[in-house]
Amino acid sequence: MDPKAIFLKKRDGLSGVLKGLSRFFIILPCIFLPAVISGCGSATYPEARCKEALQEIALKEYKIPHIEVEFVGTTLGVFLPLDKIFAADLKEALMSGKVTDMESLFQPTEEAIDKVENILFSMSRIMLSTDKKIDFYYLQATDVEKSGMDLTFIGQIDDLKRVRFWDIPRSEYRKRIIHDLHMNRAALWHRPVRHFFKDLNEATVKDVQDRYFPNTSQAKWAGEFFFTDAGGVEVSYGRAKWTILDLKSIPIQDNDIVVYAKVEVAPKDPKDTGLKPKVMEYLFQVSTAGDTEKIRRIIPMAYLDDKAATPDFTFTRDMVAKSLPNWETEFKTPDITTGDFLSRQFTRRFQMMAAEDERIANTFPTIKLVVRFEPPPQQCFLFNAVAPLRDPKEVAYTPGRGLHEDVLYFWDHVAREFVEVLRSYSFQDYKSLKFQLSQGGKLLTWTATREDLELFRRHKKTLQDILVLSVENG
């Protein structure tokens, strides 16, 4: 049989063609139907499995063993501890006095970039294929070993979708991701504690003795930290595997910090029946001197109530339990709202604009600006800038002449970017944009309503036309 006869029979004319086509259109749905049905399944990462799934992807696909995942509101937060974020040693570089370009100090290592990108990609996979409502993501990559610096990324899930569908260009997407650099004090404070538990897992009894208990007899601590066998005889390596579940800290004096550690202890050898897995809590008194932290005392939580055991330690178990939620942590996911996200984005955008625009850069020698979103009832964006004019004789505002033309130029650019960005986000939940500046002990506020800003966007009104001044005694 001639294969082409499946669709067409020679000399059948139009009816033959139609017949062939009708056969074809019967076969077509049969091929596509299974694909359609297979698409009707549930989300790949259901809400309950999101955290584990993300950790699993990180471990299996990118060999990143430890990440923390949490959800706060509609924000997915991920903590990525790294041994080293920046290629340069910040302290050494600064001490050498040879640094000419500060930015070069903050160049992440290739490994750090890879890890961050991999985690961001894993997060996007989870966010896009889950049934949990996620609007924002927050990634905190922290240098827990060297500098204690945080590299944070905040983004919106819709931006991610839009860039994937070429609805926005990559350059715009980059502007929409808020990345920041912070110092994470808690990470530095927790460093010796982390090292301590690591040593318990890996170091010899002698090393642990030398590093942490130089003035304590081995018999006193070896039993507590399972450096003895079931019969009570000391062994060279600890038989327990310590896993940190939680670390929190609170400074008590200038150089003294108390670190709370919640750990899980389990036998390294599964056959070791003498050690049952359990959760233990400790308080570590850590002192900082310069850039080094040192454990001065380790107090098991159970000992806190025994005043005889800890006569010079003022904390009680109750006090710790009550105050613990307020202690500092290495990682905390912010509950991001759209207004908040946009205000952070605007801050970044306007800072960039001020640096890039020649006229603004020449007119204002220093600009410190911030955009805040005031939640209801004000429900407005607040643009606050401390930007003195280059000529000290001139002021930003005089009642007779109004706003200085350079200030107006700067604000006009700000307002233009503001309305365009909000339009692209279709964000309507705000009432106004306020420009604030302090002058002569008074706080001057110019308000532009949303409706007026829309007219401004359409070039129907100028910025001067829509700004309304109000004065408060600052």
Partner 1 sequence: MNKWRRWKLFLMDHWVKAAIIFAAVLLVGFSWWGMASLESYYRNITLAQLPLQILMVIINSVIFVYMYMMVFQSGFSKMGNKKIKSNQVNIKFSDVIGIDEAKDECWEVVQLIKDHARLKKIGGRILRGILMMGPPGCGKTYLAKAIATEAGLPFLSMAASEFNEIFVGVGASRVRQLFKKAQRLAYGFGGCIVFIDELDAMGSRRTFSQFGSGEGNTTQNQLLVAMDGLSDKAENIIVIGATNASEDILDPALLRPGRFDRKVYIKKPSLEGRESLFRYYLSKIKYEAGIDCKRLARKAVDKSPADIENIVKESALIATRNKKEVVGLRDISEAIERIELGMKQKLTINAREREMTAYHETGHLITTYLSHPRDDVFKASIIPRKSSLGVVHPTSIEEWHGRDRETLFADIKICLAGYVAEKIKFNTTTTGVTSDFKQAMNLAHFMVWVLGMGPSGMIGDYTIYKDGNALLLSEDVKMRLNQDVDKILRECMAEVETLLLKEKDLFERFAHELLTKEELDYDEIEAVFAEFGKVNPRRSHLTQGTEPPKV
In DSSP notation, 350-397 reads: HHHHHHH-HHHHHH-S--EEEEEEEPTTT-EEEEEEE---SSTT--SE
Considering only 4, 198, 332, 423, the residue that binds partner 1 (CB under 8 A) is: 4
Binding-residue total with partner 1 (CB under 8 A): 33
Tokens of 396: 């930003």
26 touches partner 1 by CB under 8 A: no
7 touches partner 1 by CB under 8 A: yes
30 touches partner 1 by CB under 8 A: yes
Q: Strand, coil or helix: what is 267?
A: strand
Helices (H) and strands (E) in the chain, counts: 16, 16
Considering only 19, 22, 26, 41, the residue that binds partner 1 (CB under 8 A) is: 41
Q: How far is the CB of 329 from partner 1 (least distance, A)?
A: 32
- For partner 1, the closer CB: 33 or 471: 33
CA 8 → CA 1, 18, 22, 27, 31, distances in Å?
12, 9, 11, 15, 20
Contact 284, 196 (CB under 8 A): yes
170 touches partner 1 by CB under 8 A: no
Residue 304: closest CA among 317, 292, 321, 286: 317
- For partner 1, the closer CB: 43 or 181: 43
21 touches partner 1 by CB under 8 A: yes
What contacts 24+ positions apart, CB below 8 Å, involve 161-167?
Answer: 161/128
Considering only 22, 28, 91, 468, the residue that binds partner 1 (CB under 8 A) is: 28
Q: How far is the CB of 164 from partner 1 (least distance, A)?
A: 9
- For partner 1, the closer CB: 69 or 354: 69
Q: What CA dihedral angle connects 228, 302, 298 and 199, to 10 degrees? A: 40
10 touches partner 1 by CB under 8 A: yes
- For partner 1, the closer CB: 38 or 428: 38
Residue 63 CB burial class (10 angstroms; 0-12, 13-18, ≥19): exposed
Considering only 15, 42, 171, 215, the residue that binds partner 1 (CB under 8 A) is: 42
Q: What CA dihedral angle connects 50, 53, 54 and 59, to 10 degrees? A: 160
Interface with partner 1 in residues 45-74 (CB under 8 A): 45
Return the bridge partners of 299, or none.
283
Tokens of 380: 């407005």
Considering only 15, 26, 31, 366, the residue that binds partner 1 (CB under 8 A) is: 31
Interface with partner 1 in residues 130-149 (CB under 8 A): 130
273 touches partner 1 by CB under 8 A: no
- For partner 1, the closer CB: 124 or 329: 124
27 touches partner 1 by CB under 8 A: yes
CA 390 → CA 210, 358, 395, distances in Å?
60, 14, 10
Considering only 72, 93, 99, 128, the residue that binds partner 1 (CB under 8 A) is: 128
334 touches partner 1 by CB under 8 A: no
Q: How far is the CB of 315 from partner 1 (least distance, A)?
A: 48
Q: How far is the CB of 157 from partner 1 (least distance, A)?
A: 11
35 touches partner 1 by CB under 8 A: yes
Q: How far is the CB of 464 from partner 1 (least distance, A)?
A: 47
CA 114 → CA 64, 119, 154, distances in Å?
11, 9, 18
24 touches partner 1 by CB under 8 A: yes
Considering only 15, 19, 20, 254, the residue that binds partner 1 (CB under 8 A) is: 20
Q: What CA dihedral angle connects 232, 233, 235 and 239, to 10 degrees? A: -20
Stretch of residues binding partner 1 (CB under 8 A), selected from 21-29, 63-71, 235-243, 425-433 = 21-29
Order of all β-strands in the sheet with 75-82: 68-72, 75-82, 136-143, 149-156, 178-183
CB atoms inside a 10 Å sphere around CB 59: 13
Quote the CA–CA distance of 473 and 72 in Å, as a whole number.
38
Q: How far is the CB of 198 from partner 1 (least distance, A)?
A: 36
Considering only 8, 105, 389, 421, the residue that binds partner 1 (CB under 8 A) is: 8
Contact set with partner 1 (CB under 8 A): 1, 3-8, 10, 17, 20-21, 24-25, 27-28, 30-32, 34-39, 41-45, 125, 128-130
